[in-house]
């Protein structure tokens, strides 16, 4: 390469960097594009172009760049995985689960002995709704790493998605056996899985097991309250919320707000209004509590009360405070 070529490259690179620093991302991407064309062997220019597109909100163009970088990663003996990680993130954020599964498969085919890549493939299957395939992956992984509690949790998650609930509970029991100190967290995680598929009774049982391991967990108690509301056991839900507030008074208003929203979601708007009153009494400066209460008043066909709640919310907005 001649001295002149080096000077041209340095000038273009500095120009692109200056454009980036001034927030002119589209122009920077164009300059990096010229560098990529002239110096295709230097991946740093393609990477910089990808980030310039990304920062300019040109997601599809950024993905094209990362996909080219990923193709290069697949050819190396040592898999760096930087472009792979970015593509996984972008595909997840964009709901492009078919492409997510595809690149994870490619990565595993290129590096079949890499547990993190195999795990990522299992998670991709689970995200894409391919529960049986996810189960197969995590069953293999727990066989290879029988002392890894997180893998048993992932297996349990996949088994729930596949509708094999007894097996899912067994997988989580194994995780708890391996790491008893995490029993409360593992039980809550399984409870969330079960609640998502409408298995409220089993979810409640898991939350109660979590409370057996840690009785003073306010977040578990409020999650229990939300499950109880969905089962139309509203008085029990109120008691669970009161217990959560007693354990952590600082966040009592937040807990009552969560209960109020759960009641509203269940169509119990009269009770929701009362609970929002409790939240407001504890944190009068939170405009959102008034807005949620206004929505419930509207559902109760009480427009005057709804308007009053909305006026109070507006009086607390930053624009009104200036």
> DSSP string covering 77-88, please?
SS---HHHHHHH
Is residue 147 included in any domain, yes or no? yes
Q: Which pLDDT does position 78 carry in this prediction?
A: 78
Is residue 173 included in any domain, yes or no? yes
Is residue 294 included in any domain, yes or no? no
Q: Which pLDDT does position 5 carry in this prediction?
A: 60
Reduced to 3 states (helix: H, G, I; strand: E, B; else coil), residue 198 is: coil
pLDDT tens, position by position, 106-121: 999 999 989 999 999 9
Angle at 150 between CA 148 and CA 152, to 5 degrees: 80
Reduced to 3 states (helix: H, G, I; strand: E, B; else coil), residue 143 is: helix
* Sign (positive or negative) of CA dihedral 40, 46, 52, 54: positive
**How are the residues of the chain apportioned to helix, strand and coil, as percentages rounded to the nearest 5?**
80, 0, 20
**Residue 149 belongs to domain spanning:** 129-215
Is residue 230 included in any domain, yes or no? no
299 near 321, Cβ under 8 Å? no
What whole-number distance in Å separates Cα of residue 55 and Cα of residue 75? Answer: 28
Is residue 73 included in any domain, yes or no? no
Is residue 306 included in any domain, yes or no? no
Is residue 229 included in any domain, yes or no? no
At 149, which CATH number? 1.25.40.10
Domain count, the chain: 1
Is residue 138 included in any domain, yes or no? yes
Residues of the chain falling short of pLDDT 50: 1, 3-4, 319-322
What whole-number distance in Å separates Cα of residue 31 and Cα of residue 9? Answer: 11
What whole-number distance in Å separates Cα of residue 234 and Cα of residue 172? Answer: 29
Q: Is 283 exposed, middle or buried (0-12, 13-18, 19+ CB in 10 A)?
A: middle
Tokens in use for 225?
């309250």
């Amino acid at each position: 390469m001649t001295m002149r070529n080096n000077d041209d490259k340095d000038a273009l690179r500095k120009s692109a960097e200056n454009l980036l620093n001034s927030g002119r991302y589209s122009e920077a991407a164009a300059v990096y594009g010229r560098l990529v064309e002239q110096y295709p062997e230097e991946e740093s220019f393609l990477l910089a172009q990808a980030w310039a597109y990304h920062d300019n909100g040109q997601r599809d163009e950024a993905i094209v760049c990362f996909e080219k970088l990923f193709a290069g990663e697949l050819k190396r003996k040592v898999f760096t995985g930087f472009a792979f990680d970015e593509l996984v993130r972008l595909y997840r954020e964009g709901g492009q689960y078919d492409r997510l599964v595809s690149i994870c498969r490619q990565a595993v085919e290129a590096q079949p002995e890499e547990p993190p890549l195999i795990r990522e493939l299992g998670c991709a299957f689970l995200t894409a709704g391919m529960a049986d395939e996810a189960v197969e992956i995590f069953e293999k992984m727990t066989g290879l790493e029988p002392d890894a509690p997180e893998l048993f949790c992932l297996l349990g998650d996949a088994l729930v998605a596949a509708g094999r609930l007894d097996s899912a509970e067994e997988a989580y029991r194994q995780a708890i056996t391996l790491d008893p100190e995490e029993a409360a967290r593992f039980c809550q995680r399984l409870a969330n899985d079960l609640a998502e598929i409408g298995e409220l009774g089993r979810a409640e049982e898991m939350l109660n097991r979590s409370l057996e391991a840690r009785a003073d967990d306010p977040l578990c108690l409020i999650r229990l309250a939300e499950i109880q509301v969905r089962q139309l056991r509203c008085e029990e839900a109120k008691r669970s919320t009161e217990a959560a507030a007693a354990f952590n008074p600082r966040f009592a208003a937040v807990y009552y707000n969560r209960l109020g929203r759960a009641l509203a979601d269940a169509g119990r708007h009269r009770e929701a209004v009362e609970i929002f009153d409790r939240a407001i009494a504890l944190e009068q400066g939170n405009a959102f509590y008034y807005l949620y209460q206004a929505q419930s008043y509207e559902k109760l066909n009480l427009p005057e009360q709804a308007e009053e709640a909305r006026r109070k919310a507006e009086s607390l907005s930053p624009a009104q405070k200036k």
